[in-house]
């Protein structure tokens, strides 16, 4: 488990390093004093977990997360208890108050281990293209004042809505300023299928397939909605999923 420490206090980072020595499965791969350093470390080191302070010079921990397209699992470490609700609204795994207790740190790390994919991490992005997103990746989604960390395996549909794209997960329908074409280039084509000009579906959320007009198909997604596959993409769908 690769961990990145993000805290403007050198003493706090030193204390966390000391506590983490008790966990042989943990490797501290780097430290950052503020959001700008953290972004550079994230791109280079690709940690599994952020131990993240909230109040730092410049951007807060929340602002750092809002600036990321994808993020590792997050455990907040802070001296302030009033941000706990907001932390869990962005799907943080835990919220540890300073001084951090070893027992609370152990409980937080225990939440991470089952979530780590048992496969080798993808190669870091090259200058030519960003690394593709797999269903195991988490993405940060912000719509107005609401924020989420969403694992892509939980997203059942991307749908054009005006100049935005709407994301369907759980009961939520946030809008993001991304085109469907951009998302199609970033998503794993073995999991996410372009059904038509308006929609990309997660194949693993299909509950039922129905023959439709003019040799097309209709997909019934668990939790809704129904998606009509275009004629051309219906041919591709059959080719993709046939033996």
122 part of a folded domain: no
126 part of a folded domain: no
> For residue 81, is pLDDT > 50?
yes
Residue 83: what pLDDT? 84
| Residue 118 burial (CB count, 10 A) | 5
Together in a domain, 107 and 12: yes
Q: Determine the Cα–Cα distance for residues 21 and 66; give it in Å rounded to an integer.
A: 30
Closest to 95 in 3D by CA, of 73, 115, 75? 75
Residue 87: what pLDDT? 80
43 part of a folded domain: yes
Together in a domain, 103 and 55: yes
**What is the pLDDT confidence band of residue 123, given thresholds at 50, 70 and 90?**
low
> For residue 22, is pLDDT > 80?
yes
143 part of a folded domain: no
Between CA 92 and CA 99, with CA 98 as vertex, the angle to 5 degrees is 135
| Residue 162 burial (CB count, 10 A) | 7
Together in a domain, 20 and 98: yes
128 part of a folded domain: no
Q: Determine the Cα–Cα distance for residues 39 and 45; give it in Å rounded to an integer.
A: 10
- In the chain, the percentage of residues whose pLDDT exceeds 70 is 93
* 3-class DSSP state of 53: coil
Q: Bigger pLDDT: 88 or 72?
A: 72
The CATH number of whichever domain residue 176 belongs to comes to 2.40.50.1020
Together in a domain, 159 and 90: no
Q: Which of 21-30, 65-74, 112-121 has the lowest mean pLDDT?
A: 112-121
Closest to 81 in 3D by CA, of 55, 107, 111, 110? 55
The CATH number of whichever domain residue 64 belongs to comes to 3.40.50.2300
Could you read off the pLDDT of 168-212 as tens digits, one per residue?
999 999 999 888 988 999 999 999 999 999 999 999 999 999 999
Q: Bigger pLDDT: 47 or 132?
A: 47
* Count of structural domains, the chain: 2
Q: Which domain holds residue 12?
A: 2-115
159 part of a folded domain: yes
Query: Which of 115, 134, 162 is at the close of a domain?
Result: 115
127 part of a folded domain: no
108 part of a folded domain: yes
């Amino acid at each position: 488990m690769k961990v990145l420490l993000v805290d403007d206090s050198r003493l706090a980072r030193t204390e966390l390093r000391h506590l983490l020595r008790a966990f042989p499965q943990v490797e501290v791969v780097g430290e950052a004093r503020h959001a700008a350093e953290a972004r550079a470390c994230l791109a280079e080191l690709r940690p599994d977990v952020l131990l993240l302070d909230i109040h730092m010079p410049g951007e807060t921990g929340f602002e750092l997360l809002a600036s990321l397209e994808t993020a590792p699992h997050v455990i907040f470490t802070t001296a302030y208890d009033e941000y706990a609700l907001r932390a869990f609204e962005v799907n943080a795994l835990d919220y540890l108050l300073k001084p951090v207790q070893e027992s609370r740190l152990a409980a937080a790390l225990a939440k991470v281990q089952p979530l780590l994919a048992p496969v080798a991490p993808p190669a870091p992005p090259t200058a030519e293209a960003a690394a593709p997103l797999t269903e195991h990746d988490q993405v940060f989604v912000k719509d107005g004042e609401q924020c989420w960390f969403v694992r892509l395996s939980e997203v059942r549909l991307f749908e054009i809505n005006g100049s935005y794209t709407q994301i369907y997960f759980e009961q939520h329908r946030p809008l993001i300023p991304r085109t469907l074409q951009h998302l199609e280039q970033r998503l794993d084509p073995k999991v996410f299928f372009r059904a038509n000009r308006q929609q990309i579906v997660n194949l693993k959320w299909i509950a039922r397939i129905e023959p439709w007009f003019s040799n097309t198909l209709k997909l019934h997604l668990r939790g809704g909605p129904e998606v009509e596959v275009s004629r051309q993409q219906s041919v591709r769908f059959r080719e993709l999923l046939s033996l």
